[in-house]
Every structure is written in C-alpha cells, then in structure tokens.
Amino acid sequence: MGAVRSGSLARYIGTRLLLAIPMVWILLTMVFVLMRVAPGDPVSAALGARLSADQLAERRAAAGFDAPILQQYWDFLGHIVRLDFGRTLTDNRPVTDIIVENGGATLTLTLAAVILAVLFGLPMGLHAGRRRDKPDDIVIRLFGILTFAAPVFFVGLLFQLFFGKALGWLPTSGQASPVVQATVETKTHILLLDTIIAGDGEATGDVLKHLVLPAVTLGLLTLGVLVRMTRVNVIQTLGSDYVESARARGIPDRTVVVRHALRNALVPVITVMGLQAALLLGGAVLTEQTFNWPGIGNQLVDYLNNRDYTAVQGIITFFALVVVLISLLIDIINALVDPRIRY
C-alpha cells in the first residue's frame, strides 16, 4: 500500500455522477417496459366510458400511443431528459405541475419523518449497543422489530383512533385546517414555509400539529432499521482495536464512545439509510393515503384508481429519479465522512 493522497473528492463525485447516468437509463427503461406490459390500451382504460371511438383515437394519437413502441420509448427518454414527465390522460395536466404543487407536502412529511427517526433512533441504538444484553437493550430491540414489522397504514389508523378520536389531541387528516389552507399565500408550495414567511405563528402551529401523526407514523418505519443498525455497529466499534487504544491513552469514556465508536459506526448506517430512501417513499404513499395528506403519493393513488397510465408513469419516473439522487447524495456524504472511500 503506497501513500495515497487525500483530496481527490472532486474526482470521486465526478465518477459517481457519471455512474448515475447508466443507472437512470436502466431505471427509465424498466418503468417504460412495466407500463407497456400491462394489458389493454391506456387511453380506453382511462377514458373509455366517457368518450366516443373517434375522440379516443384522437387522444391516443395526442398521447403518442399510436406510434411504434421503439418510437414511444425514444420519445419518453427524450422528454425525461428535458424534465418533461408527460401529461395526465384523465385531466390533461402536466405531471410536472403535480410534482411542483404536491411535492412540498411530500417533502415536508418525509423530511420530518427522517429527522424524527434520526433524533430518536441514533440515541436509542447507541444506548442499546452500550448496554448490550441488559434489559433496556432487549426492550429497545423488541421495539425496533415491532416498528419495522408493523404495517404503516395500521400504525396510522391506530394513531388516528387513539390520539385523534379518543384523546382528541391532534388532527388526523389533511395538512392544515381549511382556514389556513385558504388564507396563507402560496409562495414555495411548502405550506410550512409559507406560513413562516407570512409570519403567521398560529398557522405554523396548525400545520405542525397536522404534521405530528403522519410524520411519526412514517418515521417509525425507518426508526426500527436505524435503531438496529446503529446498535449492531456500535457493538462492533466498541470492541474495536482503536477504541481500546483510545482508552489506553486515557481518553475519557464519553469521548471514546461518541467520537470513536459512534462516528465509525455511522459509516455503514448512513449507507443503509440511503437504501431506506426507496422504502420511505413507498411508506410516504401509504401514509399520505391514510392521513389524506396532499402529497405526490396521494395523487399517485388517485391516478392509479382512475387507470391514468401516463400520470402513473410520470410520477413513478420522478420517484425513481429521487431515489437515484438520494443514493448519490449518500455516496458523497460517506466520502466526506470516511477518507478511505475517496481513494
């Protein structure tokens, strides 16, 4: 092993970006094929009952469904490159509009869920790892399995019943009260930010209250994995040679645990959290449906029920791109944390 210079971070990020291109291409192809494999003609499936045969043929041509399949594929790729996700069949709306209008709600929900999961998951995992096989470790482990195994919609329903109906503490539906929805001026399409910009403290509080149950529901989904991953990695790093050496040098226990054991344990945890991104988006769809949260996932389910193929294709493509982006981000974060990765 030679003396490898650090500081090739830019080159590392460049390589990752280049590698993302074939990844995106494969993803897009998979989305395209999956949508075409479904039987029947998308236009008549979505609109068949409402339009005449002539009108249907017209719509089919407008959506490009009469072109040869390779032509359709080429057009699809070309549009995505220009960030055009197509138009919905049912209400002829650009998918990009859905993403812009409903993306803010989904972003708020998933970010809040991740923040909650990290805020509670890391300390719980660290504590369990330090107190391996003691009663509190066993309780935390059980909690981790339970939250991971429980279906999102079921947990959501329980929360609604308990905190919404029985105790009446928190709202169980929507992103804000109707008054707030109507009065706060839309600027960023992120309601929480808009209320803050408007300086309306009461509205901000209202939005935050609406956020609690969905965010906790979705957060619990990742919390379980995070707790168990943190625990097992902390156990490993606490038994590592460099932790023992740090102790032998008289470094205080707190510093050893946080700076050496936890920090090293986080490298694999970050990677796994990146892989969780897809799970989180899937969970967001279910959570939005359960809490009638006006996010992209909610829209996706609506369009699915209406058999709107182009809308579903557009939204799924967007989700896929987000997952690729997150994994890219995770790669970069890992390289910043761990000098051995940026060869």
- Residue 2 or 178: which CB sits closer to another protein? 2
SS3 246: helix
Report yes or no: 79 and 67 within 8 Å, Cβ to Cβ. Answer: no
Give the one residue of 10, 52, 249, 305 binding another protein; rule: CB under 8 A. Answer: 249
Give the one residue of 210, 228, 260, 307 binding another protein; rule: CB under 8 A. Answer: 260
Separation of alpha carbons 27 and 30, rounded Å: 5
For tokens 């051995």, the residue is: 340
- Residue 188 or 255: which CB sits closer to another protein? 255
Report yes or no: 297 and 106 within 8 Å, Cβ to Cβ. Answer: yes
Residue 270 interacts with another protein (CB under 8 A): yes or no: no
Site for another protein in 227-246 (CB under 8 A): 240-242, 244-246
- Residue 16 or 131: which CB sits closer to another protein? 131
Kindly state the number of chain residues that form the binding site for another protein, as judged by CB under 8 A.
27
Give the one residue of 198, 267, 324, 328 binding another protein; rule: CB under 8 A. Answer: 267
Report yes or no: 229 and 269 within 8 Å, Cβ to Cβ. Answer: yes
Report yes or no: 166 and 181 within 8 Å, Cβ to Cβ. Answer: no
Which residue stretch of 14-22, 123-131, 149-157, 249-257 sits at the interface with another protein (rule: CB under 8 A)? 249-257
Give the one residue of 20, 196, 251, 279 binding another protein; rule: CB under 8 A. Answer: 251
Separation of alpha carbons 190 and 177, rounded Å: 15
Report yes or no: 186 and 104 within 8 Å, Cβ to Cβ. Answer: no
* Residue of 257, 226, 8, 235 whose CA lies nearest to 118: 226
Residue 259 interacts with another protein (CB under 8 A): yes or no: yes
Residues that bind another protein (CB under 8 A): 1, 3-6, 240-242, 244-252, 255, 259-260, 263-264, 267, 337-340
